[in-house]
Amino acid sequence: MFEAMESPYLVPFDGSFEIASSPTAPPSGVPGKGTLKDQLEETVDRLDDLQRRLYADDHWSVLLVFQAMDAAGKDSTIRAVLRGINPQGCQVSSFKQPSKLELDHDFLWRINRALPERGRIGVFNRSHYEEVLVVRVHPEYLGGQRLPRNVPLEDRWEERYRSIRDFERHLASNGYLVLKFFLNVSKEEQAERFRRRIDRPDKNWKFSDGDLAERQLWDDYMVAYEKALNATSRPWAPWYAIPADNKPFMRTTVAGIVEGALDSLGLEFPAVSEEERRELLRLRKTIE
């Protein structure tokens, strides 16, 4: 079973994570934008090779989970980290408001259906964690789920944390490398990015007044994130709280963690036996 890569942004497993103490800006002395871009390209090149080995090895599946407040950079980070990888080896799933069919099942049902098969990298842009983040901030959404038992809200969240932990432990025991990224943007930087979405015509489509309504609930969301990360960061399915105010730094950091985790699996192209090699050489002679 995979165990978490060390990183200054690894969310501890003992429940001691404090979101107020988690940086949203990179440390001082980080390289400039151009250098970070070069570093990202080099890391993506290594990821491309590792993804080909992952596919050929055919024993592991990779699941990357991204959660963040609006405008933190989920879409652009996913695009930047996976842009140099064979599209046939990746799949991206976005989870928005549940459909009627999805609401007729438990909250993990739609997640199970989207899991990547062996040899592939799956990306969740939002995920099962919406059920302990958005739904925790808006508990009225539980009414649409038609749950059979009326239990206190805190008990409901604890049940869901337990379900998530058990689910991710099951995945890890069955060949899934699970990495979860909380892109930690500051409230001030989010405001600036919202302004840019309004000022730039090519970004107007990304903005809605609902974004501002959710922004008013910032403190509630921070409580929800802190509790969820503390309850579900485990060695086999770790959370990383990545500073998101500087996008080049964020993307490079995420890519480096993914590359390091994949490299730790010791992936190799399958070797053939001496007998198989002799047969290949014999067949080569028949090619005209």
Measured distance CA(97)–CA(100) in Å, rounded:
10
> Under DSSP, is residue 225 helix (H, G, I), strand (E, B) or coil?
helix
Residue 224 pLDDT? 98
Contact 233, 13 (CB under 8 A): yes
Q: How far is CA 256 from CA 43, 120, 196, in A?
A: 6, 18, 28
129 CB-side CA count, 13 A:
28
Measured distance CA(217)–CA(204) in Å, rounded:
22
Residue 288 pLDDT? 67
Whole-model pTM: value is: 0.94
Measured distance CA(231)–CA(156) in Å, rounded:
13
Residue 231 pLDDT? 98
Measured distance CA(142)–CA(146) in Å, rounded:
7
Residue 162 pLDDT? 98
Each residue's pLDDT expressed in tens, for the chain with a length of 288 residues: 666 767 999 999 999 999 999 999 999 999 999 999 999 999 999 999 999 999 999 999 999 999 999 999 999 999 999 988 888 889 999 998 999 999 999 999 999 999 999 999 999 999 999 999 999 999 999 999 999 888 999 999 999 999 999 999 999 999 999 999 999 999 999 999 999 999 998 888 888 888 899 999 999 999 999 999 999 999 999 999 999 999 999 999 999 999 999 999 999 888 777 787 888 788 788 886
Residue 2 pLDDT? 64
Q: Is 161 exposed, middle or buried (0-12, 13-18, 19+ CB in 10 A)?
A: middle
Conformation bin of residue 73: beta by default, left when phi > 0, alpha when psi is -120 to 50: left
CATH superfamily placement of domain 19-285: P-loop containing nucleotide triphosphate hydrolases (3.40.50.300)
Residue 141 pLDDT? 95
Measured distance CA(285)–CA(288) in Å, rounded:
8
Q: Are strands 239-243 and 121-125 parallel, antiparallel or unpaired?
A: unpaired
Contact 24, 189 (CB under 8 A): yes
What letter would DSSP give residue 183? E
Contact 242, 11 (CB under 8 A): no
> Under DSSP, is residue 175 helix (H, G, I), strand (E, B) or coil?
coil
| Helices 33-57 and 247-263, packing angle to 10 deg | 30
Q: How far is CA 6 from CA 3, 11, 235, 277, in A?
A: 9, 10, 10, 40
Helix count (H) and strand count (E) of the chain?
Answer: 11, 5
All structural domains of the chain with their residue ranges: 19-285
Residue 1 pLDDT? 61
> Under DSSP, is residue 81 helix (H, G, I), strand (E, B) or coil?
helix
Start-to-end Cα distance in the chain:
47
Measured distance CA(267)–CA(87) in Å, rounded:
19
Q: Which of 90, 128, 102, 92 is nearest to 262 (CA)?
A: 90
